[in-house]
Chain A
Amino acid sequence: MNGTEPFKIPPEAAFATTYDVAIVGSGVSGALIAKTLGALGLKVLVVEAGPGEDVTIGEYTKSVERFYSAVSKDNNAPYAHSRNAPMPRDYDAVKLRDSQPNDRGYLVQNGPFEIDSTYSRVLGGTTRHWEAKALRMLPDDFRMQSAFGRGRDWPVTYDALAPDYGRAERELGVSGNVEDQRYGGLTFEDGYVYPMKRMPPSFLDKTMAKDLDGFEVKVGEQTFALNVRSTPQARNGIPNPAYDGGKGFTPTGAVSIHQAEMGGRCQGNTNCVPICPVQAKYDARRTLLAAMDTGNVHLLARTVAFRVEVDGTTGRVTGITCKTYADKDAPGHVTGMLQARIFVLAANAVENARLMLASDLHGSSKLMGRNLMDHAYLLTWGLMPQVVGTGRGPLCTSGIEDIRTGNYRQHHAAVRFSIHNDGWGWATGAPYTDLAELVDARNLTGAALRRGLIDRVGRQLLLDCMIEVLPEETNRISVDPRHLDQLGNPRPVVSFHIPDYTLETAAFSRRLTRQIYQRLGAEDHTRYDPLAPGWVSHDGEGFTLRGGNHWAGTHIMGTEARTSVVDATQKSWDHGNLYLAGAGSMPSIGTANTTLTLAALCLRTADAIAAELSPGLATASVSTHCQEIPA
């Protein structure tokens, strides 16, 4: 592209070019679409709000060191925070009092539930800090309304999406074992294997499995046998020679615009969230740099989309006004207009909705920003009867999946459980809080302190209960001109409550995990603080629920403009040349984190865009919905 350095495109050059496709957001959605289209020869611009660093090993190391040096090691601690493109921090979530909104962080929290979910506005988006679990959603998750009379059906079935799940598993590089994923109606193509073999289960997993496997549990009318199963994850393991009909799989390691040889297999740094120091974990920079390698993709960083401009007659997007800043913190920016034949918003479920609403584009369904979902996590924790060596390995290597679906979903939400190799940290701030207690309260020093720590930390088990939340229109992102960021962009306002459907499963999960601890002979140390943000009560029992950073639903997908925002290809019903990509399109989130599913969706979207722009080039894996409005 005129010999321009793809990473150093001057804003004025970018704004002066009419691209085939302009993509807002360099996260997994945008990167996958950019890579697919760039490979087909289409000219693509990717716009990133964050500083756009971390394309060399040196820069990546700076992020790792920023994490090392951070006293508060929250999930955005490693990343360069920019005042011109601020991001939410989990510690900004505080208990709301007297219905007063909390606007101390980037998100404005309206409540009633205080959500501590975040996202990252950096190159590669929130995949920078994701844990990289790569579970598929279950067939039932796609037909919630028809199967259980709850939530919404997708306009796509599991079977239709299954090939795209396979493509996504290749793009993300998933390690897993298909045999461990046979439950809840999950099906795989005959002979399918994951690109890499499963992560070896931890000693803790194996210790638990010994006593837990086969535990029969009655949920509603059905009885399920629980089993510890390996968790598929987008982390480099041992390539499976049987993959792809025996062709095998070549993992991608660390990425850098210079040479980079690190980033082979997972080494067990126990830090998937917030940063893998050796880049064994997939993050979207991998896809983004591959997109750049096509020679057809430009990156414009430090550029925040400000307003989507629409032709009032045709509804088509005529451009996206952006603000480009030079210094990440100092005020000051230049304004420009993105020009392209097709526009893709891939800035995550919160930011996509925020941008549309800030542009007064509520959609003919008025659903823009509504149906906000995230997983509700109930954490439970205990001490195993023996030292299990907590604090080793990837954060989670196994989980309990057997009750991810069942007829009980007519009445209450689905749930799955992860076994944490990293101890109680998420729930209690361990091991720091343990050290403080042993030193300050138990007055231990020297060898006694060492013994005390082994006993207190080395036995820790944390089971997280990941609970489904269904779409409700009152759970929403909105904007409010009273709350602007430094660039003058409206900040996202979050209104969220936890539905009873979900709370019922929180109570169920607490009961079940108590039984699990009893079966393991583990000391149950779970307790919830009524003064903590996220405190909810249900039938007289109180819990603290935590967010999962799985924002979804805000531009919900459906079969018609009246009741949804985008179609099955993530194309806007109202704007013929606009796609809203990512988890915001999902009509349900089941009990899988959203990344693998949204990656599958975005690969279909890329196909649809390619079919539209260069018919014949695209791989025809999707029957694209054609509702082109003549310009």
Chain B
Amino acid sequence: MSLHRITDLAGLHRHLHAAMQLEHATIPPYLTALYSIMPGTNTEAFDIIRAVAVEEMLHLTLVGNLLNAVGGTPDLTVHGFVASYPAMLPDGEEDFAVDCQRFSPEAISTFLRIERPADLDHGEKGGRTITRKKARGTVKAGHVGPETEEHFFSIGEFYKAIEDGLDRLHADMGEALFCGNPASQIGPEYYYSGGGGLIAVTDLASAKAALDLIAEQGEGVTDTIFDEDGEIAHYYRFQQLLLGRYYRAGDARDKPTGGPVPVDWKAVYPIKTNARLDDFTKGSDLREAALEFNSTYAIFLARLTCAFQGAPEEFIPAVGDMFHIKELFHRLMRQSIRGTEGLNGAPTFEIDRLKDDPE
């Protein structure tokens, strides 16, 4: 697999667009698993998945800031931005697909693959686990174009390539590289959590700080369970669900010794994996609700785009949309699909279809 070096600004923009897509690609599967948990059950699991999903939103926004800073135009509304699930996230000889599926051991195993630290890959052998050859950057990215379908050994390396490109361009252009309007940056006032906040990107130092934060939070370059701020990497966070215990400082990999993480795999809505609009009878309430979900999600993406394109204050109502989206998730997941053996509905995330095939 060859790595196309970033040699010009356009190349950097393409990479950052792809990075936004790959950050976003994790959100539908994480939210689907998260909201399939029946309210009031699996509280530890809910908190763990929620924390990761929220950080993916943070990463998405950090990349958006970076793209803005170097004069690009983040756009989450372009055709193909939202992946089609099952989304193939190619992985060496054996590909694995990311599904939008209920909270289950299978879902968590997929999440572990998504978040697997780079250095673990080298040690993994055999058929069950897979050597990671390509990054999520290779999610089919309609607007990026086939010439940018580069393949990285890990997410970490994907971001490393961006950082190297940034360094090279900066060496050529100096701070002129950061030609974006600083007023477009979505700053720390708009988001924070235990895991760190937003960083306004205005120069090389802040650009690197943003990339470091993404990497540290579990995109696979660190080989430790906790980062220097004491925050646990995504991979280990998820692993706690399969191991049934919290990690605590000083623990060895795979051997958490903290408090219990009880999991009830049955307290979950029996949703259809990778539900599609076509699974729901035309004209049915369920189909209408799925369409409403998709249009609400499209509004959310449009609002984020608006926030990135000069109106950062729109980030706050965009977060408000996320709360509304949660309610729509639940409403769908509580409806049985006619003609199935006890399967319930779920969001389909067929956002492009709203435009292609309005009903």
Contacts and interface: CB of A to CB of B under 8 A. Distances in A.
Interface in A362-387: none
B35 to A, nearest CB: 15
B192 A251 contact: yes
A264 interface: yes
Interface string A52-80: 00001110010001001000000000000
B193 A261 contact: yes
A108 to B, nearest CB: 37
Interface in A54-111: 56-58, 61, 65, 68
A380 to B, nearest CB: 32
B259 A258 contact: yes
Contacts of B262: 58
Interface stretch (B17-25, B47-55, B97-105, B289-297): B47-55
A260 B194 contact: yes
B47 A57 contact: yes
B269 interface: no
A259 B188 contact: no
B126 interface: no
A239 B192 contact: yes
A399 interface: no
A579 to B, nearest CB: 34
Given A58-B44, A65-B40, A258 B258 contact: yes
Contacts of A241: 188-189
A292 B55 CA distance: 28
A261 B43 contact: no
A267 B192 CA distance: 13
Interface string B12-41: 000000000000000000000000000010
B55 to A, nearest CB: 8
B193 A253 contact: yes
B312 interface: no
B195 interface: yes
Interface string A274-302: 00000000000000000000000000000
Contacts of B166: none
Contacts of B40: 61, 65, 68
Interface in B243-260: 246, 248, 258-259
Contacts of B55: 261
A301 B54 CA distance: 35
A257 B194 contact: no
A239 B189 contact: yes
B86 to A, nearest CB: 28
Contacts of B192: 239, 250-251, 264-265
Interface residues of B, number: 26
Interface string B166-203: 00000000000000000000001111111100000000
- In this complex, the member of A239, A248, A262 whose beta carbon has the largest number of chain B beta carbons within 10 angstroms is A262
Interface in B193-231: 193-195, 231
Contacts of B135: none
A239 B189 CA distance: 6
Contact of B44 (A57, A65, A250, A267): A57
A411 to B, nearest CB: 46
B132 interface: no
Contacts of A250: 192
A260 B323 contact: no
A197 interface: yes
Interface in B114-153: none
Nearest to B190: A238
A253 B194 contact: yes
Given A238-B189, A253-B194, A257-B259, A262 B51 contact: yes
A336 interface: no
Contacts of B190: 238
- In this complex, the member of A254, A257, A259, A260 whose beta carbon has the largest number of chain B beta carbons within 10 angstroms is A259
A263 B188 CA distance: 16
Nearest to B52: A261
Nearest to B230: A259
B54 A261 contact: yes
A261 B194 contact: yes
Contacts of A260: 47, 194
B50 A261 contact: yes
Contact of B323 (A58, A239, A258, A267): A267
Given A56-B259, A239-B188, A239-B189, A262 B47 contact: yes
Contacts of B237: 259
A61 B262 CA distance: 14
Nearest to A251: B192
A96 B230 CA distance: 56
A254 B40 CA distance: 18
A540 to B, nearest CB: 50
Contacts of B231: 259
B232 interface: yes
Contacts of B51: 259, 261-262
A57 B323 contact: no
A371 B55 CA distance: 52
B193 A197 contact: no
A467 to B, nearest CB: 36
B189 A263 contact: no
Contacts of A238: 189-190
A68 B43 CA distance: 15
A259 B232 contact: yes
A146 to B, nearest CB: 43
Contacts of A265: 192
Nearest to A68: B40
A262 B50 CA distance: 8
A264 B191 CA distance: 8
- In this complex, the member of A251, A261, A265 whose beta carbon has the largest number of chain B beta carbons within 10 angstroms is A261
B48 to A, nearest CB: 8
B43 A61 contact: yes
B47 A261 contact: yes
Contacts of A58: 43-44, 262
Nearest to B240: A259
A65 B38 CA distance: 13
Nearest to B232: A259
A57 B189 contact: no
Contacts of A259: 47-48, 51, 194, 231-232, 237, 246
B88 to A, nearest CB: 30
A248 B199 CA distance: 13
A354 B120 CA distance: 61
B228 to A, nearest CB: 15
A248 to B, nearest CB: 8
Contacts of B47: 57, 259-262
A134 B49 CA distance: 33
A238 B187 CA distance: 11
B194 A57 contact: no
Given A239-B188, A263-B194, A267-B323, A258 B43 contact: no
Interface in A399-434: none
A261 B55 CA distance: 10
Contacts of A251: 192
Nearest to B40: A65
A95 to B, nearest CB: 38
A265 B188 CA distance: 12
Nearest to B192: A264
B201 to A, nearest CB: 16
Contacts of B232: 259
A88 B6 CA distance: 68
Given A261-B50, A262-B50, A197 B189 contact: yes
Nearest to A240: B189
Interface string A535-550: 0000000000000000
Top 10 A-B pairs, shortest CB-CB distance: A261-B51, A261-B194, A61-B43, A238-B189, A258-B246, A264-B193, A253-B194, A57-B47, A58-B43, A261-B193
Given A68-B40, A259-B47, A260-B194, 5 more contacts: A57-B47, A239-B189, A258-B44, A258-B246, A261-B193
17 contacts: A58-B43, A58-B262, A61-B40, A65-B40, A241-B188, A248-B188, A259-B232, A259-B237, A260-B47, A261-B50, A261-B54, A261-B193, A261-B195, A262-B47, A264-B193, A264-B194, A267-B323
